[in-house]
Amino acid sequence: MAHQIHCLRVSTTLYDGIVDSALSPNIAETLQGGDGSLYNTFAATLGAAPALRFTSVKVAQNRALSGAAGAAIGTAVEAFLVEEEAFGTRKSTGQKLALSNGVIVPRTISADQGGVARLAQEIVLGGAAAGGAPYSFTADQTVPTAATVDELFTLGPITVDGTSIGGVQSLSFDFGVGLSAVQSDGQTYPRLVAVNAVAPRLTFDTNNIGLLLSSDPSLGGLGSLELNAGDAEPVAVAAYLAELTEGGVIGSTGEKITCSYGLLVPRSLTVSAAGDAVLSYEVVLGGHTGAPFSLASSQDLPDAATGEALYGVGDVSVDGGDLGRIQDLTIDFGHAVAIEAEGGSLYPAQVVRRATAPTMTLTTLNAETLASGVAGLAGAERTVVATFKKRSSTGFAGSGDVTITANQARVMVDELGGSHGDDATSRVTVTTTYDGTNAPLTAA
């Protein structure tokens, strides 16, 4: 008999809008042979660490199930599979999975431009009395009838220091919840499941690469920006999910993720021959005795950004010589960020930028230029300038381009060649060093 995933229920409260769900028993099995036998002669289960992962579109409602850093199962969580009849008709009965012991944790909140926001959560099972099974299946159970999708969210703005950055294409908030599931004394299931650390991160992409040139220090430029709500002039990053209205479009309110403590760092800048440049950022959270972020519902959306622009791939020059025919280009800003734990605290006590080693990789069809030695060898110090051309409604604007300069650069040809029927390409890597005066990368 076929079944479809259904909702979750705790007592009389439904957690619905579930779009995928899967129970992983995670059984550890042993197969044993011996005595010179050709075959294994004994099979046994050594243990199991079951977990239920599920994703929903009702972000505001369902995040209450796990909270921001995990919650122990008090009243059993019931997950249903509804029975399916011929021609897709749903019956009123199905399978019920009762999860009686364990911890419910949030995993991610994610949203893309033009898509529906999703919340991923997980229930890690264990801790039943006497090491018993922390879950059970029951067939032919009445399934809830009120389950429905009645709230949806999509990607909203992101603000830094209260100002919308514009051009946001995607965001993902990783709650970073770490768990210990301890098995002992030969028991089959974990005797204890507990949250041992929380290291959250926010990542987002924007095509407003002019942020790298902003004179506003709150945007960080090519380096990092400290977020500290305890400062006299605190800076925070806020990410929004815009609520969709039934039968309409985006409303004026939504979910808000406020990042109050940590570091904002640019991660990469990428572009292809036919695409728009995309700038990726990460917020590494920590450096506070309590939670370095907060979640809130029904928050007013900020005003839209102004002065946005799109950029395409331009020229790349080595010591003034144009490589030409660039097919793709990626700049990795190379920020190595570390989080440091402190005894007795769930959240990182400190977030630090330990090193910066930027690199640039590109692919070009101009094999002749590279073969003639313009790029040189890795041992020669070069100046490499990558141009991102500002677009206009009819092509390229002719002004307002963004340039990224790699100073004290070493240029290496990683590969030169191709396949029959395709143009030969050259893949090039540019690394940088620091001479004590000039930054490895500069933007203009």
Closest CA to 363 of 329, 321, 338, 390: 329
Percent of the chain predicted with pLDDT > 70: 95
Percent of the chain predicted with pLDDT > 90: 62
What confidence tens digit (pLDDT) does each residue in 144-186 have?
988 899 999 999 999 998 889 999 999 999 999 999 999 888 8
What confidence tens digit (pLDDT) does each residue in 381-412 have?
889 999 999 988 888 877 888 999 998 888 88
Alpha-carbon torsion (156, 158, 162, 163), positive or negative: negative
Residue 12 in domain: no
Q: Is the pLDDT of residue 234 over 90?
A: no
Non-local (6+) Cβ contacts of 12 within 8 A are none
Per-residue confidence at 372, pLDDT binned at 50, 70, 90? Answer: low
Residue 45 in domain: no
Q: Which domain holds residue 414?
A: 309-444
Q: Is the pLDDT of residue 143 over 90?
A: yes
Tokens, residue 266: 């640019």
Residue 331 in domain: yes
Q: Is the pLDDT of residue 259 over 90?
A: yes
The residue ranking higher by pLDDT, 216 or 229, is 229
Per-residue confidence at 298, pLDDT binned at 50, 70, 90? Answer: very high
Residue 415 in domain: yes
Q: Tell me, what's the pLDDT at 157? A: 95
Mean pLDDT within 432-438: 80
Residue 88 in domain: no
Residue 263 in domain: no
Q: Is the pLDDT of residue 218 over 70?
A: no
Q: Tell me, what's the pLDDT at 263? A: 93
The residue ranking higher by pLDDT, 368 or 178, is 178
Question: Is the distance from CB of 205 to CB of 278 less than 8 angstroms?
Answer: yes
Query: Domain holding 404: CATH number?
Result: 2.30.110
Structural domain total, the chain: 1
Q: Tell me, what's the pLDDT at 382? A: 86
Residue 405 in domain: yes
Q: Is the pLDDT of residue 199 over 70?
A: yes
